[in-house]
Structure 1
Amino acid sequence: MEYFLQALRNYAVFSGRARRREYWMFVLFNILFSLVAGVADYVFAGAGSGAISGLYALALLIPSLAVGIRRLHDVGKSGWFMFIALVPLVGAIWLLVLFCTEGTRDDNEYGPDPKEGVLAF
């Protein structure tokens, strides 16, 4: 939950780097909260409404893009690489591979290593 809140605090910060853990924990909690919003839609407004989940998705659009771009910065890619997802099938797979790849060690052109000072087990 800490990483989800950290991404929300960095609401529109597109500079810097994000570790794999920060990105994937944000994705996990985003999916969980989206499911809760979907259930709330169904309970309060019936099937087919989608108002609550739509507002939730709209509110999390910018933080989702920001943490994704910071994740790409960690692997040494520009934020413009998000557009690779527009290439049918191959683009989404390539983007998933980049999101799963370990970040570059030491500093890169996008900032210092976010793992610096963290003990690895």
Structure 2
Amino acid sequence: MGPVEAFTTAWKKSFTYGGKATRAEYWWFYLVNLIAILGVYVLTGIPAGNISVDIVSSLFIIYALASVFPNLSIGVRRLRDIGKKWTWIFISFVPFIGGIWFIILMCQPSGKYETGQASNM
């Protein structure tokens, strides 16, 4: 799956928490989404013609808030793909080590376990 296909698939499945997302699908979406957010952020600093900075800043906030849904759903589907329950998404709230642990989970190979049979790591 390529970057554009992963990005559009994640947005289409924004409210679909069932199924699985491969490692490539997750990371391609993450990269393209990061580039999109940085692109909109850069536009907030460039006043372009008649477009006010407030409008562009509003677009940045709207996009950042809207991207929460595909980020959450692809994270849950990625966890299902590695055999973890959806509640593992909350590991990222643990101070200091939680974010690192979540990244390690997202880097695990696909299909290692069936859902519900995973080790409790």
Same fold (TM over 0.5): yes
Q: Could you say which residue in structure 2 is the equivalent of 1:50?
A: 57
Q: Could you say which residue in structure 1 is the equivalent of 2:119?
A: none
1:109 Cα shift?
A: 3.1
Provide structure 1 residue ranges, at least 5 long, that are not aligned to the other structure.
111-121
Inter-partner Cα distance in structure 2 for 1:87 and 1:50: 31
Q: Could you say which residue in structure 2 is the equivalent of 1:64?
A: 71
- Which contiguous aligned blocks of 4+ residues in structure 1 show a shift greater than 3 angstroms? 44-47
* 1:109 aligned onto 2:112: no
Inter-partner Cα distance in structure 2 for 1:7 and 1:38: 21
Identity score, percent = 33
Describe the shift of the 1:88–1:105 C-alpha distance in structure 2 as closer, same or farther (beyond 3 A). closer
Note if contact 1:18-1:71 (Cα within 8 Å) is conserved in structure 2: yes
Q: TM-score, normalised by structure 2?
A: 0.81
> For residue 101 of structure 2, what is the amino acid of its counterpart?
W
Deviation string 1:65-100 (CA, Å, 9 cap, x unpaired) is 000110011111111111111111111111100000
Inter-partner Cα distance in structure 2 for 1:46 and 1:62: 26
Aligned residues: 108
Q: Could you say which residue in structure 2 is the equivalent of 1:39?
A: 42
Inter-partner Cα distance in structure 2 for 1:30 and 1:36: 10
Note if contact 2:81-2:115 (Cα within 8 Å) is conserved in structure 1: no
Which of 73, 84, 92 is the matching residue for 2:80? 73
Note if contact 2:82-2:112 (Cα within 8 Å) is conserved in structure 1: no
Note if contact 1:11-1:62 (Cα within 8 Å) is conserved in structure 2: yes
> For residue 33 of structure 2, what is the amino acid of its counterpart?
N
Q: CA RMSD in A?
A: 1.9
Q: Could you say which residue in structure 2 is the equivalent of 1:119?
A: none
